[in-house]
Amino acid sequence: MIDLYSFVGPLIRQLDPERAHGLAIGLLKLGLVPAPRRTEDQILATRVWGRAFANPIGLAAGFDKNAEVPDAMLAQGFGFVEVGSVTPRPQSGNTKPRLFRLDRDEAVVNRMGFNNDGAEIVARRLAARPDRKSGWVGVNLGKNKETDEALDDYIYGIKALAGLSDYIVVNVSSPNTPGLRALQDRQRLAELLQGVRQALSDMSLTVPPPILLKVAPDLTEQDKIDIADVVISQKIDGLIATNTTIDRPDHLHYPPDTGSGGLSGRPLMDPSTRILADFYRLTGGEVVLIGVGGISSGADAYRKIRAGASLVQLYSAMVFHGPGIVARIKSDLAICLRRDGYACIADAVGTGLGPGPG
């Protein structure tokens, strides 16, 4: 199959990054992005939270903020899709420009600020999905910028969206909402997660969705210890490592006026994978980890898995390589697994860390 993105990608990247993203969403909604013939290598099949995933490659939050194209992205070959971040009330986000491509570095800087249509509209779209069995769709929850009591917003998100979600993510790690990352503090995080779990329990769903926590890569050693302890004590079902970084490596090629925001893409691969491995050790391999940050090849996905990830996610790589990268990553990941003698994804989880769990 011809990779059309090799032809149209350079043209799309001539557009302002946010406009290019809007165009991509629009084309997907119209069904104008060709979907590959869906064939899955059985070595990539895995079970997490008792659920079968055709493959472990997921679409990270940020691409489909408003649940406009989750099924279209599943059709592109993803094993699961995460929409959001979604806040209780619609908000426009930060002032533009707020999205920047670092083409020479295959990196992105964003300071979007949780721009989204709000929980009610997202809930209507998820409820209207023609076939929820087409694949797993999780929802990433955030808080509105002006909200003082963060727990209120996360509880609102739980009540509005948990019944329509295959998993729920509590996002306390975006650098673009003032004060959000302070919620990673041990005491505040424990109170937040306890409240979220109680809100989900109160809904009495027949099959409640797993609750995950998404963390930043910019953590101290004590931060990581505290977060791991809270995740275990609160019986949180999974942890996503990591969100974007506020670090600004000197060797990268930043566009003029890039300013603040979170850096993602290839430069995040090493630091996010180190954080992932740290959490695998700190949780004793007992908490499901999703590895995200810098994945652009099957070898990258394999490295995350061997560092402790049961599932992985990507987004920024599509900016530079188009959705066809998903099929290439899956093919190369299968080659890596067979080369090293693994029968399935689960057999490889955590094996890159030496003796210990996994």
**Choices 3.30.565.10, 3.20.20.450, 3.40.50.11540, 3.20.20.70: CATH for 5-353:** 3.20.20.70
pLDDT 10s digits, 284-309: 999 999 999 999 999 999 999 999 99
174 is catalytic: yes
Distance of CA 200 to the CA centre of its chain: 21
Q: How far apart are CA 312 and CA 310, in angstroms?
A: 7
| Total Cβ atoms within 10 A of residue 321 | 20
Q: Which of 174, 264, 297, 316 is catalytic?
A: 174
DSSP calls for 215-258: E-S---HHHHHHHHHHHHHTT-SEEEE---B----TTS-PPTT-
What is the CA 354 to chain-centroid distance, rounded? 27
Closest Cα to residue 328, out of 106, 5, 7?
A: 5
**Peptide bond preceding 209: is omega within 30 degrees of 0, i.e. cis?**
no
Tell me what the mean pLDDT of segment 259-265 comes to.
92
Q: Is the pLDDT of residue 318 over 60?
A: yes
339-355 core/surface letters (b: 16 or more CB in 10 A; e: else): eeebeebbebbbbbbee
Over range 37-43, report the average pLDDT: 89
| Per-residue pLDDT tens over the stretch 111-162 | 999 999 999 999 999 999 987 777 899 999 999 999 989 999 999 999 999 9
- For residue 328 the two structure tokens come to 């290439």
Q: Residue 357 pLDDT more than 50?
A: no
Name the token pair of 334: 């299968």
Secondary structure class of 87 (helix, strand, coil): coil
pLDDT for the residue 16 = 85
Under 8 Å CB-to-CB from 133, ≥6 apart: which residues?
none
**Distant-in-sequence, close-in-space partners of 171: CB < 8 Å, separation ≥ 6:** 61, 84, 85, 140, 141, 142, 180, 214, 243
| Token digits of residue 58 | 């997921």
CA 16 to CA 12: how far, in whole Å?
Answer: 9
Residue 214 CA to residue 155 CA, distance in Å, equals: 16
Q: Where are the domains of the chain?
A: 5-353
- Judged against a pLDDT cut of 50, whether residue 91 lies above it is answered with yes
Mean pLDDT across the chain: 92
